[in-house]
Chains A and B, each alone.
Chain A
Amino acid sequence: MKLHPILAGGLAALIWAAMPAAAAPPDTVSFIQSVEPPGLDPTSGSPVAAGQVTWQNVFEGLVRIDADGAVQPQLATGWTLSDDGTTLTFALREGVHFHNGAAFDSATAKFSLDRIGAEGSTNGQKALYAAIASVEAPEPDRLVVHLSHPDAQLIYRLGFPAAVMVEPTSAATNATDPVGTGPFRVQEWRRGDRIVMTAVPDYWGEAPRLSGITARIIADPQAQAAALRSGQVDLASELGAPELFTPFEGDPAFTTHVGTGEMEVVAGMNSARPPFDDPRVRQALMLSIDRNLLVQAAKSGFGTPIGTHFSPASPYYKDLTGLYPYDPARAKALLAEAGHPNGFTFTFKVPNRTYTQRAAEIMQAFFQQIGVTAKIETVDFPAAWVQQVMTDRDYDMTIIGHAEPLDIDIYARHPYYFNYDNPAFDAVIAGLADARTEEARADGFARAQEIIAQDLPALFLYSEPKLGVWKAGLHGVWENGPVPANDLTDAYWAE
Chain B
Amino acid sequence: MRFLIRLAGVLLAASVLIFLLVEAAPGDPARIMLGMSAADDTVAALRAQMGLDRPMAVRYLAWIGGLLHGDLGQSLTYGVPVAGLMAERLAVTLPLTAMATAMAVAVAVPLGVLAGARPGAVADGLATVLAQAGIALPNFWIGLLLILGLSLGLGWFPSGGFPGWQAGWRAAGALVLPAVALAVPQAAVLTRVTRAAVIDLAEEDFIRTARAKGLGRGRVLWRHVLPNALLPVVTMLGLQIPFLISGAVLVEAVFTLPGIGTLAYQALAQRDLIVVQNVVLMFAAIVLVAQAVTDALYARLDPRLRGRE
Interface residues in chain A, defined as those with a beta carbon under 8 Å from any beta carbon in chain B = 13-15, 17-21, 36, 38-39, 44-48, 120-127, 175-176, 190-194, 216-220, 222-223, 226-227, 229-230, 232, 380, 382-384, 386-388, 390-391, 400, 402, 404, 407, 410
Contact = CB atoms under 8 A, between A and B. Distances in A.
A404 B37 contact: yes
A226 B88 contact: no
Given A18-B169, A383-B26, 11 more contacts: A15-B156, A17-B169, A19-B156, A45-B34, A122-B34, A191-B258, A218-B256, A223-B254, A230-B159, A387-B27, A404-B37
B38 A124 contact: yes
Identify which of B35, B80, B88 gathers the most chain A CB atoms within 10 Å of its CB: B35
5 contacts: A18-B158, A39-B78, A218-B256, A219-B253, A386-B32
B152 A230 contact: yes
B152 to A, nearest CB: 5
A36 B267 CA distance: 11
A222 B176 CA distance: 19
A31 to B, nearest CB: 13
Contacts of B211: none
A438 B172 CA distance: 59
B34 A227 contact: no
A45 B33 contact: yes
Nearest to A404: B37
B223 interface: no
A123 B25 CA distance: 25
A447 to B, nearest CB: 22
Nearest to B175: A18
B27 A384 contact: yes
Nearest to B147: A226
B37 A410 contact: yes
A227 B159 contact: yes
Interface in B153-192: 155-162, 164, 168-170, 172-174, 176
Given A126-B38, A383-B26, A383-B271, A192 B266 contact: yes
B89 interface: yes
B67 interface: no
Contact of B172 (A14, A19, A20, A21): A14
Contact of B35 (A36, A48, A226): A48
Interface of B: 25-28, 31-39, 42, 45-46, 48-49, 77-80, 85, 88-89, 144, 147, 151-152, 155-162, 164, 168-170, 172-174, 176, 253-256, 258-259, 262-263, 266, 269-272
B28 A391 contact: yes
Task: List 8 tightest A-B contacts by C-beta distance, closest first.
Answer: A383-B27, A18-B173, A192-B258, A17-B169, A38-B77, A124-B34, A226-B159, A193-B258
A387 B161 contact: no
Given A230-B155, A386-B27, A39 B79 contact: yes
B170 to A, nearest CB: 5
A232 B158 CA distance: 8
Contacts of B88: 190-192
A387 B31 contact: yes
A120 B50 CA distance: 12
Contact of B42 (A39, A121, A220): A121
B49 A18 contact: no
A226 B253 CA distance: 13
Contacts of B164: 190, 193
Contacts of A47: 34-35
Given A223-B159, A226-B159, A14 B173 contact: yes
A388 B26 contact: yes
A145 to B, nearest CB: 21
Identify which of B38, B151, B155, B266 gathers the most chain A CB atoms within 10 Å of its CB: B38
B162 A229 contact: no
Contacts of A192: 88-89, 258-259, 262-263, 266
Contacts of A404: 37
B79 A227 contact: no
Nearest to A30: B161
B31 A390 contact: yes
Contacts of B254: 220, 222-223
A404 to B, nearest CB: 6
Contacts of A407: 37
B79 A176 contact: yes
Contacts of B176: 14, 18
Nearest to B265: A219
A325 B269 CA distance: 38
Contacts of A402: 36
Nearest to A385: B27
B31 A391 contact: yes
A283 to B, nearest CB: 26
Nearest to A21: B170
A380 to B, nearest CB: 7
Nearest to B156: A15
Contact of B25 (A46, A383, A391): A383
